[in-house]
């Protein structure tokens, strides 16, 4: 029997919300539009010159204190997790989210306003296969006080435990199989929460400027202030929703059982990075060596990328280079102690970045990418025979034929090198 193909999904009509941001205090209108096929989830700041866009990807995370903020350069979008939790619950793959301010509104502090307007907008199927990340081997992760144990599952389940020294919280645990129906009935209405004794300190750090008892569950030392709980365990339900929203930054649907103890935004983002790097990925674009050779001009012995695992035009590329003892440079670098030259690690990143530029060009065989400068180059650890070098390259800016990119190279999930690269597409 052939497996039924599941299409990509976007919304059928636009949705809109407006209100005050929890941390910035800025009034912002959010307009959510159907996305183009294979676009992914993209935020656009319409209030800034050039209407800059930021993809909802873990590589774009800028801050995790009390919220998750994404961005690059002068463009930042704060507190994206509530909106993205609703996106994940509805299995939406492609959206354009326009904001005329720095932060989606907090509204009542729950996920429900976003879930409700997206559900009401309806679903439209796209051509193409959804990008999905399937955890195939169990792993554990510790980030600060947060710990996560992740195991394979055909679907997404969040088992969450929190613990606070407060009479209304104490230790709370819950487990939810994430579907639209489960989210709607058991998680969507759970609100963010905070404590009265933290308010002044947070505001002194530029946070919580838009917070009030209308937008959060506020706790004194003994009781809830100005509202009533929607569930006795509303606190752990909200933390589970936060995990879901942060995991949207993986960049696709997730199949895994996530057991989280004392989760945090910092820990959730670290978990998203781990899943993005280690889970089995399906959907999206993959290019084998034959396609690579059609695009870039390099030939043996200077092919430094064997396969493209992910390619989002003008946004991001992930390439791999299998490093073997047969590489000719090992004969002299160094005899009896083979180490991949650092300049060739950068070259591998550069070739992956070149694919990001060249794959969209007409007649790429008549073009060549010249690198103009390298900045902030760092080498973290040696690359040895038998390693698989994974280069993740993000496009920072693209004007005319000139592009600025940031590349990070990994081996077994550990950073081995990083660099910012300026390149230009030229005629041969």
Cβ partners under 8 Å of residue 171, min gap 6: 161, 162, 163
In a domain, 325, yes or no: yes
Predicted confidence (pLDDT) at residue 25 exceeds the cutoff of 90: yes
Q: Answer yes or no: do 263 and 369 share one domain.
A: no
Exactly one of 166, 286, 298, 333 is catalytic; name it.
333
Q: Answer yes or no: do 192 and 307 share one domain.
A: no
Model confidence over 218-227: pLDDT tens digits?
Answer: 999 999 999 9
Report the pLDDT value the prediction gives residue 2, as an integer from 0 to 100: 44
Model confidence over 330-340: pLDDT tens digits?
Answer: 999 999 999 99
Predicted confidence (pLDDT) at residue 193 exceeds the cutoff of 70: yes
* Catalytic residue status for 337: no
Predicted confidence (pLDDT) at residue 361 exceeds the cutoff of 90: no
DSSP readout, 228-242? --SSTTHHHHHHHHH
Q: Answer yes or no: do 262 and 358 share one domain.
A: no
Exactly one of 265, 286, 298, 337 is catalytic; name it.
265
Query: How many folded domains does the chain comprise?
Result: 3
Percent of the chain at pLDDT exceeding 70 = 98
Q: Positive or negative, the Cα torsion across 148, 149, 152, 156? A: negative
In this structure, of 121-130, 150-159, 188-197, 259-268, the range with the lowest mean pLDDT score is 121-130
Predicted confidence (pLDDT) at residue 148 exceeds the cutoff of 80: yes
Cβ partners under 8 Å of residue 258, min gap 6: 148, 149, 150, 156, 157, 158, 159, 243, 247, 271
φ/ψ of residue 161, rounded to 5: -130, 130
Q: How far is CA 230 from the centre of its chain?
A: 30
Report the pLDDT value the prediction gives residue 1, as an integer from 0 to 100: 38
**CATH number of the domain enclosing 12:** 3.30.230.20
**CATH number of the domain enclosing 346:** 3.10.129.10
Contact 144, 271 (CB under 8 A): no
* CA 369/CA 377 separation, integer angstroms: 19
Q: Answer yes or no: do 311 and 409 share one domain.
A: yes
Binned at pLDDT 50, 70 and 90, residue 327 comes out as very high
**CATH number of the domain enclosing 253:** 3.30.1700.10
Question: Would you call 363 helix, strand, or coil by DSSP?
Answer: coil
* Catalytic residue status for 238: no
Report the pLDDT value the prediction gives residue 245, as an integer from 0 to 100: 99
Binned at pLDDT 50, 70 and 90, residue 288 comes out as confident
For residue 334, say if its preceding peptide bond is cis, omega within 30 degrees of 0. Answer: yes
Q: Of 111, 126, 141, which residue is a domain's last? A: 126
* CA 288/CA 307 separation, integer angstroms: 5
Predicted confidence (pLDDT) at residue 190 exceeds the cutoff of 70: yes
* Block residue for tokens 């660099």: 419
Q: Positive or negative, the Cα torsion across 64, 66, 70, 72? A: negative
Supply 259's token pair.
Answer: 């057991």
* Block residue for tokens 């009034």: 27
Q: Specify the DSSP element, H or E, that contains 272.
A: helix 265-278
* CA 18/CA 40 separation, integer angstroms: 23
- Taking all residues of the chain, what is their mean pLDDT, rounded to a whole number? 93
**Which whole number is the average pLDDT over 20-47?**
95
Report the pLDDT value the prediction gives residue 359, as an integer from 0 to 100: 66
Q: Of 279, 312, 329, which residue is a domain's last? A: 279
Q: Which domain holds residue 228?
A: 132-279
Report the pLDDT value the prediction gives residue 39, as an integer from 0 to 100: 86
Model confidence over 374-425: pLDDT tens digits?
Answer: 999 999 999 999 999 999 998 888 887 888 999 999 998 889 999 999 999 8
List the end-to-end C-alpha distance of the chain, in Å, as a whole number: 50
Reported pTM:
0.79
DSSP readout, 71-114? EETTEEE---HHHHHHHHHTT---EEEEESSSS---TTSSSHHH
Q: Answer yes or no: do 152 and 275 share one domain.
A: yes
**Which whole number is the average pLDDT over 178-206?**
96
Model confidence over 214-262: pLDDT tens digits?
Answer: 999 999 999 999 999 999 999 999 999 999 999 999 999 999 999 999 9
């Amino acid at each position: 029997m052939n497996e039924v193909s599941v299409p990509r999904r976007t919304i059928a009509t636009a949705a809109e919300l407006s209100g005050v941001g929890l941390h910035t205090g800025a009034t912002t209108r959010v307009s959510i539009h159907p996305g183009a096929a294979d676009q992914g989830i993209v935020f656009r700041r319409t209030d800034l010159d050039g209407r800059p866009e930021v993809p909802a990807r873990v590589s774009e995370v800028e801050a995790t204190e009390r919220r998750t903020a994404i961005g690059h350069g002068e463009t930042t979008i704060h507190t994206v997790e509530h909106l993205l939790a609703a996106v994940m619950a509805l299995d939406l793959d492609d959206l354009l989210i326009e904001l005329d301010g720095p932060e989606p509104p907090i509204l009542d502090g729950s996920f429900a306003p976003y879930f409700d307007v997206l559900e009401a907008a309806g679903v439209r199927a796209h051509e193409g296969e959804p990008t999905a990340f399937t955890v195939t081997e169990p792993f554990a992760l510790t980030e600060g006080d947060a710990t996560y144990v992740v195991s394979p599952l055909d679907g997404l389940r969040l088992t969450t435990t929190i613990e606070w020294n407060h009479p209304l919280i104490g230790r709370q645990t819950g487990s939810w199989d994430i579907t639209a129906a489960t989210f709607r009935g058991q998680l969507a209405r759970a609100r963010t929460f905070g404590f009265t004794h933290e308010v002044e300190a947070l505001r002194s750090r530029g946070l919580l400027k838009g917070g009030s008892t209308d937008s959060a569950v506020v706790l004194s030392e003994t009781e809830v202030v100005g509202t009533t709980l929607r569930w006795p365990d509303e606190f752990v339900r909200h933390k589970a929703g936060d995990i879901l929203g942060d995991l949207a930054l993986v960049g696709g649907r997730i199949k895994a059982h996530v057991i989280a103890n004392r989760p945090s935004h910092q820990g959730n983002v670290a978990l998203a990075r781990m899943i993005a790097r280690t889970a089995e990925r399906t959907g999206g674009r993959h290019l084998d060596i034959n396609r690579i050779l059609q695009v870039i001009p390099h030939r043996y012995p200077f092919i430094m990328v064997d396969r493209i695992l992910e390619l989002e035009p003008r946004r991001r590329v992930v390439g791999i280079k299998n490093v073997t003892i047969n590489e000719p440079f090992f004969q002299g670098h160094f005899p009896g102690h083979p180490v991949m030259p650092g300049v060739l690690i950068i070259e591998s990143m550069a070739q992956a970045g070149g694919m990001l530029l060249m794959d969209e060009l007409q007649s790429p065989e008549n073009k060549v990418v010249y690198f103009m400068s390298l900045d902030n180059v760092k080498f973290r650890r040696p690359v040895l025979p038998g390693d698989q070098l994974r280069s993740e390259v993000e496009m920072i800016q693209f004007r005319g034929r000139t592009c600025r990119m940031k590349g990070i190279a990994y081996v077994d999930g550990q950073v081995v090198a990083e660099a910012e690269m300026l390149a230009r597409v030229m005629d041969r």
